Structure 1
Amino acid sequence: MPELRTDRLLLRRCRESDLEPWAAMNADPEVREHLGELLTREQSDATVAVMQAEFGDRGCGWWALEARETGAFIGRVGLDEDMPFAGVDIGWRLMRSAWGHGHATEAALACLAFGFETLGLPEVVASMTVNNLRSQAVMRRIGMTRDAADDFEDPSVPEGPLRQCVLYRTPAEMLTA
Structure 2
Amino acid sequence: MIAPTLETERLVLREIREEDLDGWAELMGDPDSARYIGGTLNRAQSWRAMATFAGCWALKGFGMFSVIEKASGRWIGRLGPWQPEGWPGTEVGWSILKSAWGKGYAAEGATAAIDWAFETLGWSDVIHVIDVENARSIALAERLGSTDLGPRTLPAPLDKYNVHAWGQSREQWLARRAPETR
Deviations 1:32-76 (A, max 9, x none): 122333101111001111111111221210100000111110000
How far apart, CA to CA, are the structure 2 residues paired with 1:16 and 1:36?
21
The answer to whether 1:104 aligns with 2:106 is yes
* TM-score, normalisation: structure 2: 0.88
For the structure 1 residues 71 and 131, does the alpha-carbon distance in structure 2 shift closer, same or farther, using more than 3 Å as the test? same
Deviation (angstroms), 1:100: 0.3
* Candidates 49, 56, 59, aligned match of 1:57: 59
For the structure 1 residues 83 and 174, does the alpha-carbon distance in structure 2 shift closer, same or farther, using more than 3 Å as the test? farther
CA RMSD of aligned residues (A): 1.7
How far apart, CA to CA, are the structure 1 residues paired with 2:173 and 2:36?
29
List runs of 5+ in structure 1 lacking aligned partners: none
Letter in 2 for 1:55: W
The residue aligned with 2:17 is 15
The residue aligned with 1:42 is 44
How far apart, CA to CA, are the structure 2 residues paired with 1:33 and 1:77?
16
% same residue: 33
1:17-32 alignment, distance < 5 Å = 17-32=19-34
* Candidates 4, 20, 27, aligned match of 1:2: 4
Letter in 1 for 2:156: S
The residue aligned with 1:154 is 154
How far apart, CA to CA, are the structure 2 residues paired with 1:87 and 1:37?
22
How far apart, CA to CA, are the structure 2 residues paired with 1:100 and 1:80?
23
Query: Is the deviation greater in 79-88 or in 103-112?
Result: 79-88
* TM-score, normalisation: structure 1: 0.91
Secondary structure in structure 2 of the residue aligned to 1:14: coil
Is the 8 Å Cα contact of residues 87 and 154 (structure 2) preserved in structure 1?
Answer: no
How far apart, CA to CA, are the structure 2 residues paired with 1:127 and 1:49?
21
Deviations 1:97-127 (A, max 9, x none): 1100000001100110011011111001111
List runs of 5+ in structure 2 lacking aligned partners: 176-182
How far apart, CA to CA, are the structure 2 residues paired with 1:140 and 1:176?
15
The residue aligned with 1:166 is 164
Secondary structure in structure 1 of the residue aligned to 2:33: coil
Letter in 2 for 1:64: S
The answer to whether 1:176 aligns with 2:177 is no
Is the 8 Å Cα contact of residues 15 and 66 (structure 2) preserved in structure 1?
Answer: yes
Query: Is the deviation greater in 93-102 or in 76-85?
Result: 76-85
How far apart, CA to CA, are the structure 2 residues paired with 1:145 and 1:115?
18
- The alignment covers a number of residue pairs equal to 173
For the structure 1 residues 122 and 10, does the alpha-carbon distance in structure 2 shift closer, same or farther, using more than 3 Å as the test? same
How far apart, CA to CA, are the structure 2 residues paired with 1:159 and 1:4?
32
How far apart, CA to CA, are the structure 1 residues paired with 2:159 and 2:89?
24
